[in-house]
Structure 1
Amino acid sequence: MTFRLFTSLGNEVREFRTVVPGEVRMYVCGVTPYDVTHLGHAFSYVQFDTLRRFLEWLGYRVRYVQNVTDIDDDMIMVSKRQGGRAIAEIRDENDAILRADLDRLNVLRPTVYPYATDHIPEIVETTQRLIDRGHAYVVDGDVFFDVASFPRYGQLNGLTLDELGKRENPESKRAHKKRGHLDFLLWQQVEPGDPAWDSPWGPGRPGWSIECTAMAVKHLGTQIDIHGGGSDLKYPHHENEIAQAECAYGVEPFCGWWVHNGMLQLDGVKMSKSLGNLVLARDLMRTYEPDHLRLYLLSHHMRTDANYVPGAVDALADRFGSLRAATAHAAEGPPNREALATMVAHLEADFDVPGTLDAAERVARRVLGGVSEQGEATALRETLRILGFAFAGARGPATGDFSP
């Protein structure tokens, strides 16, 4: 059985191979919990949860790390807006809401769920490594990564430095101090009263991208197999992560597969907290069963941008009912090997979950029509377990399993 998976680095589908045979080191960028999370976050984490489940079904031991960015400009801004409320309180409140949503959607708990603020020593150490190796420089308490020192910068996005310079870049700060236009902060001075930690360059706080590099290396090592996140993170965040890790630790590549999910849109516009055009998973789950919503989220290929419109979940009611009803016909004994292979083949070919769901629906129709072969309902149940559906008996929070 050969699994082929697309990577954004090189824009190609390649046979999946890991750094350590039989083991997958997987890091997925988590949220910045300064406000409520929305259906776009659920889309991302359900997709990566399903990829993780498929890798485990293939026999891999998966170590899945998903971080929490609990110190950045937005966290500080909300804290000030709320009268100086503790950032940890804001984080814990919003993180609990997200976790409750993902639990209901049967998303497996991460193996490690690190907070950036718990990794300041690792961040300082990685930053110092970059300075010592000539890839970063200090200007009056701020530390910048020197993009010119890393010739491969831009490879993830397939763009030249000039082309990247024309892109929107939330990491572009304190231009008057920088040597190069694309240089970005690893460590920054803070305003009086803002959260700060001691460092060799004075009190301050981390830049954005260095946090993920330090946490990934801490919990997975200097080379990992899969790095996931939304397509909006390809530049600058993930481009920066490659540069930081490969320059700090002398490894190439830092990550074998860069896997990006598409953006969930509302009426053609990217759903985001900053725009306020949000549909909340918890609101939809007041109307629809969580497995029904999971089916909607998995009905779009991971890499595609999906456009949510009212009634989109309703349109899948017949499919949801058929899959659940047919699964109830599963009996003891082995699954029909041919039916299982037909459904799983789509997952093997670049993780085509919608293709698997189409094939699963065809099996369900045969089962419900009384024309299926022996073991087809069992094969259907096995496939839907791989996809994480609680009604098929997939392990996870929705079935009482809160283990990673």
Structure 2
Amino acid sequence: MDIFDQYLFDEIVESYIQPDLTFEDYEEIYQRFLNLEHIPEVKPYLLSMRFLGLGTEAEPEEVLSELRTYFNSGDVNLCGLYYDMLLYKNRNDKEAAEKLSEFENEGYSDNYLKEHSHLNYEEVRDDEYDEEDECGYTITCGNCGCEFDISEEENSQDSVICPSCKTVIYLDDIEEDDNEDYDYDDEENDDYGNIEFKKIEFESNGITGIHFTSRDVDYLRAEVFFEPIEKPCHISVRSKIVDFNDPVSDIIEDDINLEDGDYSFCTTGWGNDTFDGYSAGWLKWVIEINGYDTYSREFRIYDGKIQEPKLHIDNIKLFASKTTGAREEDMDYCTTNFKGKTLEHIYFMAIMENEPGLDMYVKFSIKVIYLENDSVAFDECFMQPLNHDTYACWKSVGYPIPDYWDKGLYKYIVKIGDSNEYEGNFTIY
């Protein structure tokens, strides 16, 4: 690591280890770490932020899978981080605790997972796994996978808060059994479907994504994506919008029937007709499915209204990446030919001829036509914040799983604000 990189790295780490950071703080730190991704010391921090959902989409299973590939590397920090994450999900994993203790002796620290590190949980380390000390009930957070105990008194309440990710978990519909884990696939629940969650996005007045302007939103709704279901089923959905765990909305209830092959559903919208239901800032939409799985995602409201500036798109570059967001390493592989078996989302990077000159919010529209039968595959519109000197930005369309695109030739049309319509083609093979 050269002197300049070392200076930047130390500065970012110092920011990261500070307490009480907001999601926006973490978002900035995550982007700064990405700029130093070529430095090996940065990797544990990026993986930790992806695991916990700090400043980026939470991908706990993907991160654990990636860390397993480093078992033979001898890297103390990456191997220690793996067992620390396992203990984050299950504090009573004795084998993981023993392994973590070994890596701690070799230099692993709690810098990466911060207050979530098992190294900070003295009460459950070494020989203190006493079953007689367990609380009345164990809860698994559907958002981050963390297991934690609650007392009899807490179990009598309407909800509890996950101590790790701060998700609100409603207890009303959770069934408890003193002798064995409750089986949600038993005969009396056959008409309720289990879904394999992928992500949450939001929509209002034709604008999709996680960024919205306050004066353009009347009612906002959440769309939940998951692996395509194999047979028709019914799900019961309850959700609520919160601001740092303080409720913003009432509980929103939806009973939804899903058909074979469905991969998403939408909640009822929340807001009002006067376009003043949402204040500027970060909010979180918490969604509970069938009374036992809880998921959430944050979205941001900007104070203002979408504008229509005169811009000119000079070029569009395409690259493939994940549903959950564009990965830095994928941006270097721009192409117009995509392998359908592994393809999830196609990202459209618009390079503009002129900079906006002012900070503003604009519409970023993508229309994709499947030329094999002239059908519209996607017709999406997003809100895109632009700084006064922005010259490139990107959005994506696609599916939450690979191998879902139809093979063949496509045409795309991209427009930003009042820009020219930029057209091009790509192929899925």
Flag the structure with more relative contact order, 1 or 2, with Cα contacts below 8 A and sequence separation at least 6: 1
What TM-score comes out, normalization by structure 1 length? 0.28
**Is the strand fraction higher in 1 or 2?**
2
Q: Which has the higher helix share?
A: 1
Normalising by structure 2, report the TM-score: 0.27
